[in-house]
Structure 1
Amino acid sequence: MTFSEQPLRDQAVPPSWHSRFAFFDAYGPPADPPAREAMKHLSFGQRIRLTFNPLAFFFGPIYFAVKGMWRKGLMLFGLTVVFNALLLALNVPSSFDMAIACGVGALYATTANYAWYLHVRNDNRSWNIFEGMTRSKAE
């Protein structure tokens, strides 16, 4: 049975998210070994769809707030403000602004999908933005 054939328990999830939720149900967090192994067998487009959220990339904390994950959005926004203040204090050249902005957007985009999965499936209201994004200790 492939991950897209797994039964979906939550009917409130939009159809475009069914395959993502089924994958996370079957293999766990994206950084865990079973999920990493399963991702090796997916196409490039499927891997990107599971691990990158373009709306979160462009809208950042607004996306998190609209999805109901305001705690994580607020934490990410706070980290962004601290990071930008540090860069300003270090007098980083403005020519690096676009690269830095893309990096911050990528942080939002790569944490959004699994964060929303936890929010919907487990009623997760944690402030931890990296939950499930790091390898578990029991490897």
Structure 2
Amino acid sequence: MEQKQYSNKWQKRFDFYDKHGAPNTPEFKTALKTASFGQRLLINMNFFAFFFGLIYFLILGLWKKGLVLLGVSLGIAILVTIIDGLTGWSFPDGVYNGLSVGISAMWAMLANYNYYLKETKGLDGWNPLEGMRMV
């Protein structure tokens, strides 16, 4: 079976995760603090996932995690709509914009490590926080 070729960006991300571990480890956090701003963005954020969310997760083959994150995103939207309906007043537009950016950031911050786990460790479950034990 032929080995998959990754772009330079993905190779840098994978090397960083191989060397420093999961995003919640002290080694990862220390290494990230010493990295340049551009390197921190490369490791922590995925701009395609920020703008395209579920579509990008589907392209990467992360459909299970994408569906879970879609459910979380829809759940937040439904909750805000219910609160609007029950209280009779609407949140200011800034709140909706902030929620939209926050949800997009969630997609962007989870894409890289989840793709790394799928491609290198074979972990392709439903949990988008897989391998990132929150302590």
Report the TM-score when normalising by structure 2. 0.87
Secondary structure of the structure 2 residue equivalent to 1:82: helix
Pairwise CA distance, 1:94:
5.1
Aligned residues: 127
Pairwise CA distance, 1:40:
1.4
Provide structure 1 residue ranges, at least 5 long, that are not aligned to the other structure.
Answer: 1-9
In the aligned structure 2, how far is the partner of 1:127 from the partner of 1:19?
A: 25
Pick one of 13, 20, 23 that aligns with 2:6. 13
- Preserved CA contact (<8 Å) 1:32 1:134: no
In the aligned structure 2, how far is the partner of 1:27 from the partner of 1:11?
A: 23
In the aligned structure 1, how far is the partner of 2:102 from the partner of 2:41?
A: 16
Give the equivalent residue in structure 2 for 1:125.
124
For residue 71 of structure 2, what is the amino acid of its counterpart? G
Instruction: State the identity %.
Output: 35
Give the equivalent residue in structure 2 for 1:39.
32
- Preserved CA contact (<8 Å) 1:111 1:133: no
Deviates more, 1:94-103 or 1:65-74: 94-103
Give the equivalent residue in structure 2 for 1:26.
19
Give the equivalent residue in structure 2 for 1:105.
104
Pairwise CA distance, 1:30:
1.4
Secondary structure of the structure 2 residue equivalent to 1:127: coil
Secondary structure of the structure 2 residue equivalent to 1:101: helix
Give the equivalent residue in structure 2 for 1:75.
68
CA RMSD of aligned residues (A): 1.5
Q: List structure 1 segments (4+ residues) > 6 angstroms apart after TM superposition.
A: none
For residue 78 of structure 1, what is the amino acid of its counterpart? G
Greater helix fraction, Structure 1 or Structure 2: 2
Q: What pairs up with 1:46-85 in 2 under 5 angstroms?
A: 46-85=39-78
